Structure 1
Amino acid sequence: METIMSARCRLLLAVSLLGVASVALAQDLPENMPKRKPGLWEMQSTGMGGQPQVMKLCLDESTDRDMYKMGAQMSGHVCSKFNVSVQGSTVVSEAVCRVDGPSGPINLTTHSETRFDGNTSYQTQGHMTYDPPVMGRSEMAMNSSGRWVGECPAGQKPGDMVMPNGTTMNIKDMQRH
């Protein structure tokens, strides 16, 4: 049972991160992309009918930029289409991607709108469709939000992300592997 839950959590996390970070997956980012304030960010996402997933990320300007670059590299490998536009304080993205799932390739189509409130918070509403269905679902609404909560705690460095289960990983380290 733990293996099934672990696989489900990994898949949910991967799908959630794709949805939450969909803005960062553009190959050519608009010059006027909103920037997030350096410090500790709390990000919450909901989808697939489960409990909200909360992650914390220690962010600086370099890490924010590197996350966009990492997303651009990922999108070039898995997305046949990715459009991003900035309309005032709203970033609209649409993508068609092919990702590996537990039972084979999954065609994923997404549309999301992220509204920034200055550089200290954002709200994202998105919709994803899957072909073939994932865990019995062919579509999912995804809502996420992020808010700046203060300075990064002592001992955390930019790129450190605390996952919902308490595990910490560093996004910058992931880029090196």
Structure 2
Amino acid sequence: MRLVGAALGGLFASSAFAADAPARKPGLWEVKTTIEGQGRAVTVQQCIDAATDQMLQSSAGPFSAPLCPTREVTKSDGGMTIDTHCTIGGKAADAHAVVSGSFDSAYTMTVTAEGGVLPPVKMTMEAKWLGACAAGQEPGDVVMANGVKVNIPQLQKRALGADPLQPAK
């Protein structure tokens, strides 16, 4: 349950993050996520361009404006702070995210979330730009810690019932 809470907390915080953060530099990013009290970190690599960067950072699923209508963003020279207020399962839930660093080279985002159906959670994401995407990678590819590669736009098309192997109409 704590892991689910962490994932949900990160998702509704990332919704606010995507709407207010500058775009990350296109290319290959390594993102390491640590959940306090959950043992080891999970590291993935994301190959992005402008469109897939927005898609990856706003994949907040059900934690969109109807559930999370209140968001306060405070920007500073060193980063930003985002406070998101949601109603999940009929109960109030809050997330506080602190983002620092550069979206051209490396940044850190720490999210604390609690309330609603979520257990309290603290999650830290550390991201660094590695360079151009590797040969054979395309924007939207995410390489999981176990080496499995998935393409997020293709997954979304499948979820919507479209054939990802056919050109968009």
TM band (smaller chain): 0.7 to 0.9
- 3-state secondary structure, aligned to 2:24: coil
**Cα pair distance change 1:59/1:44, threshold 3 Å:** same
Quote the residue 2:140 is aligned against: 159
CA apart distance, 1:86: 2.4
- Give the gaps of 5 or more residues in structure 2: 161-169
- Give the gaps of 5 or more residues in structure 1: 1-6
Give me the TM-score of the superposition, normalised by structure 1: 0.70
Q: Is the 8 A contact 2:113 2:120 kept in 1?
A: yes
Query: Structure 2 counterpart of 1:24, which letter?
Result: F
Counterparts of 1:36-115 in structure 2, within 5 Å, are: 36-50=24-38, 51-67=40-56, 71=60, 74-99=63-88, 107-115=92-100
Query: Structure 2 counterpart of 1:96, which letter?
Result: H
**Cα pair distance change 1:164/1:23, threshold 3 Å:** farther
* 2:108 is equivalent to residue 123 of structure 1: yes
- 3-state secondary structure, aligned to 2:69: strand
Q: Is the 8 A contact 1:19 1:126 kept in 2?
A: no
Query: Structure 2 counterpart of 1:113, which letter?
Result: V
Between the aligned partners of 1:94 and 1:43, the Cα distance in structure 2 is 22
User: What do residues 24-45 of structure 1 show as CA deviations (whole Å, max 9, x unaligned)?
Assistant: 354xx3xxx4332111101011
Quote the residue 2:128 is aligned against: 147
- Identical residues among aligned pairs (%): 27
CA apart distance, 1:60: 1.2
Q: How many residue pairs were aligned?
A: 157
* 2:156 is equivalent to residue 169 of structure 1: no
Q: Is the 8 A contact 2:27 2:132 kept in 1?
A: yes
Between the aligned partners of 2:79 and 2:87, the Cα distance in structure 1 is 26
Query: Structure 2 counterpart of 1:81, which letter?
Result: T
* 2:11 is equivalent to residue 18 of structure 1: yes
Give me the TM-score of the superposition, normalised by structure 2: 0.73
